[in-house]
Amino acid sequence: MRFRPNLARALAVVTAASAAAVVLAACGSSSSSSSASTATVPKPNTLALTISDTGKTSVYAGPTTTAGGLLQVQLTNKGKAPHGAQLVLILGKHSPAQALRQIGNPSGKTPGWLRAVGGVGYANPGETATATDNVPAGKYLVFDVAALSSGGPGSGPPAHSALTVTPGTAGPLPATTASVTAATAGKDKYKWNISGLKAGANRITFNSKGSNALHILTVVRLKGHPTNAQIEKGLSSNSSAPPSFVDTNAPTPQTAALDGGKSQTTTLNLPPGRYVFFCPLHDRDGGKPHFLEGLLKQVVIH
């Protein structure tokens, strides 16, 4: 599971500007269906976490054990920058410390013993964000995916915590009227299928497809009308400054990362405007970032 360092530097500037402007996301299986009836949805278990900033570091507070199955992750952000809570299942005899060392691995490859299970991708300062996933039992690393993507608040490892998940009952995800799917479109090719989004808070089902894939949805509001080629060039740049087409007064919401074949429900808050939806992750065996393999799409929100 890797985020491109150049993209992290660019989004660090974007997120810092956004935060100031507002004063400031059984392994591989899916239980999703945005059309599932709410009458059939069992009450999920709850994992309530809090994250706060201490100097240049951030720390989680909350339980270190939770029942799995259908699980709602709640993250309350008491910090001054956006934060998240990514759940990573650790298979075999590997440890959370070993998993943490793999985060941001410059090889671009993700070992088979790490599985992206979802969680909260983005919570603004002072807010509580939620996401619902089906979470298998096992040992986990929880880490701050928002800080890793944005480069803040410090330059060291993201906030992280070990978590033990005990067996629970899986179930259909809550119904949503909007969905975003990272769909397959051929070998090493993907496409966004997007429906039902509107201005404001959107409860969405995020679907990740592809047997060897890892996907995350990152959303950036645009200035002007850049071409997709210009956006690809900007996202691939090594510059520490954000590309000129990025609206630095807007937040950069994202989901948590998901293995191919998994889904979750979460919330995207989208004021009216033109956005680019993209995925900066690679397949498990490396290769190009997914925004160069089809997962880049401009979307106008009314």
What is the rounded CA–CA span in Å between residue 275 and residue 283? 24
Residue 30's pLDDT band, with cuts at 50, 70 and 90, is very low
175 vs 21: which has the higher pLDDT: 175
Please give the average per-residue pLDDT across 220-247, as a whole number: 94
Q: What is the pLDDT of residue 103?
A: 81
Chain-wide mean pLDDT for the chain? 87
Percent of the chain with pLDDT over 90: 75
What is the rounded CA–CA span in Å between residue 51 and residue 61? 6
- Is 15 a residue whose pLDDT tops 80? no
What is the rounded CA–CA span in Å between residue 90 and residue 244? 39
Three-state SS annotation for 114-160:
EEEEEEEEEECCCCEEEEEEEECCEEEEEECHHHHHHCCCCCCCCCE
Residue 157's pLDDT band, with cuts at 50, 70 and 90, is confident
Q: What is the pLDDT of residue 14?
A: 44
pLDDT for 71-91, tens place per residue?
999 999 999 999 999 999 999
- Most confident of the following: 218-222, 237-241, 249-253: 218-222
Query: Which residue, among 115, 137, 90, has the nearest Cα to 208 in the 3D structure?
Result: 115
Residue 119's pLDDT band, with cuts at 50, 70 and 90, is very high
Burial (CB count <10 Å: 0-12, 13-18, 19+), residue 244: exposed
Residues 223, 199: contact at Cβ < 8 Å?
Answer: no
What is the rounded CA–CA span in Å between residue 249 and residue 247? 5
Please give the average per-residue pLDDT across 151-157, as a whole number: 59
- 197-215 CB burial, b ≥16 within 10 A, e <16: beeeebbbbbbbbbeebbb
- Is 5 a residue whose pLDDT tops 60? no
Residues 87, 120: contact at Cβ < 8 Å?
Answer: no
pLDDT for 36-76, tens place per residue?
444 555 789 999 999 999 888 999 999 999 999 999 999 99
Residue 20's pLDDT band, with cuts at 50, 70 and 90, is very low
Please give the average per-residue pLDDT across 230-242, as a whole number: 92
